[in-house]
Structure 1
Amino acid sequence: MSAKIRVLIADDQTLVRTGFRVILEAEGDIEVVAEAGTGTEAIRQARLARPDVILMDIRMPGLDGLAATEEILRHPDPPTVVVLTTFDQNEYVYRALHAGAAGFLLKDAPSSRLIAAVRAAATGDSLIEPSITRRLVERFAVPADPVAHPPELAALTERELDVLRLLARGLSNAEVAAELVVAETTVKTHVARILTKLGVRDRVQAVVVAYETGFVTRGT
């Protein structure tokens, strides 16, 4: 990653792109390297500008943000994609999880949340917003009785399973550390090992696995 976090903003509303650009470029460590108003243009700009993070709207004319995300993430060493959403797009956002999106941001989120989301995505520590991601996964995951040790999670240690349960509740690394009374660096190590063992890109994908295997269920 370059000295500054390189960001591509993909949204069909010019005012949204302009507003995000103004907010982000006021930060010394973030640079908006490109904009796109369609999914097709987002794919092209992702290839040309080589951003670290893409803020991707779902609903765009022509090729939508989901298809664009899937195409961008097929390539080696892809950027991190953070999906821009509203609460009326739940079905689309769940599909975005499977497409490989690393996080979600409400379009009307405060500027501090936008900045934090970009920085988290750039470091691979995409936070799972309890108000968005956990709600969506719980809503759309197949209901099942809890499974103590699903075969898909057999490689995880008991402590890693503890960490995964807390990630599924929407806790950040710092919150997981406080819950387990360990150092935050220890949690980061556990998260990295969980991702490697499950063969997933990020913590959001790990949470999807936790719900879909029945290890974590709605309301747990």
Structure 2
Amino acid sequence: MKVLIVDDDKLVCASLKIILEADKDIEVPALGYNGKMAIELYDNLRPDVLLMDIRMDTMTGLDAAETILKKHKDAKILFLTTFQDDEYIIKALNIGSKGYLLKQNFESIVPCLKAVQMGQTVFGDEIITKIPSLITDNNKLRFSNFHINEKEFDIIVQVANGLNNKEIAEKLYLSEGTVRNYISVILEKLNLRDRTQLAVFYYKNK
């Protein structure tokens, strides 16, 4: 397995190369130190997995990964960073990376690289616990672009799940009349005809 390492800390790069090549199945053909180098090296070497940091000078790992994945849809990119920022994790998920690990979990790097090579997606334990809430928050953020507030978003989700007005009212502790009014307002905001169109709209935009 060929693994390209990209990190703006040259000592980290060198250390990772030693750790990875201690495994007889792994070869590190090159090291990169910023996002632009990642793009150039990936184009030239086409590694099995790109192991890359996020915060780097010149171009971030996230921006580099987005560029690489647009050109090489089968690219397998695993982020290795010290940062647990929600926005980084969300973007890593959205652009199609194969995982997100924290550097302190160095003992899991080799097994995770092998899992990624086999087509799996991997996340460190600290990241896994954050993902469900991040996905929900990210969906709410997307729907806010349509001027949908949090309560309206909750109702849209329940409509998409197939619940009727009475069931939604019980679940969200509202009256049926209030739910009916909310749905009318939502349909008008989104210029939709009925609940079926609303459900389709939700799944297209989630």
Structure 1 length as normaliser, TM-score?
A: 0.60
Instruction: Please identify the structure whose Cα radius of gyration is greater.
Output: 2
Q: How far apart are 1:46 and its partner, in Å?
A: 0.2
Q: How far apart are 1:128 and its partner, in Å?
A: 3.7
Q: How far apart are 1:19 and its partner, in Å?
A: 1.2
Aligned to 1:38: 34
The separation in 2 between residues aligned to 1:129 and 1:56, in whole angstroms, is: 15
Q: How far apart are 1:12 and its partner, in Å?
A: 0.1
Aligned to 1:185: none
Aligned to 1:122: 117
What SS does structure 2 have at the residue aligned with 1:32? coil
Please, which runs of 5 or more residues in structure 2 have no aligned partner?
141-153, 163-202
Aligned to 2:10: 14
Please, which runs of 5 or more residues in structure 1 have no aligned partner?
152-209, 214-220
Q: How far apart are 1:92 and its partner, in Å?
A: 1.6
- Show the 5 A alignment for 1:118-157: 118-139=113-134, 141-142=136-137, 144=154, 147=158
What SS does structure 1 have at the residue aligned with 2:110? helix
The separation in 2 between residues aligned to 1:20 and 1:90, in whole angstroms, is: 25
Q: Counting helix residues as a fraction of each chain, which structure ranks higher?
A: 2
Structure 2 length as normaliser, TM-score?
A: 0.64
Query: Residues 62 and 147 (structure 1 numbering): CA distance in 2 closer, same or farther, change over 3 Å?
Result: same
Alignment deviations for residues 44-97 of structure 1 (CA, whole Å, 9 cap, x no partner): 000111101011111010111111000100124532001112244331221121
Query: Residues 26 and 148 (structure 1 numbering): CA distance in 2 closer, same or farther, change over 3 Å?
Result: farther
- Give the structure, 1 or 2, with the largest relative contact order (CA under 8 Å, sep 6 or more): 1
Answer yes or no: is the 8 Å Cα contact 1:104–1:129 preserved in 2: yes
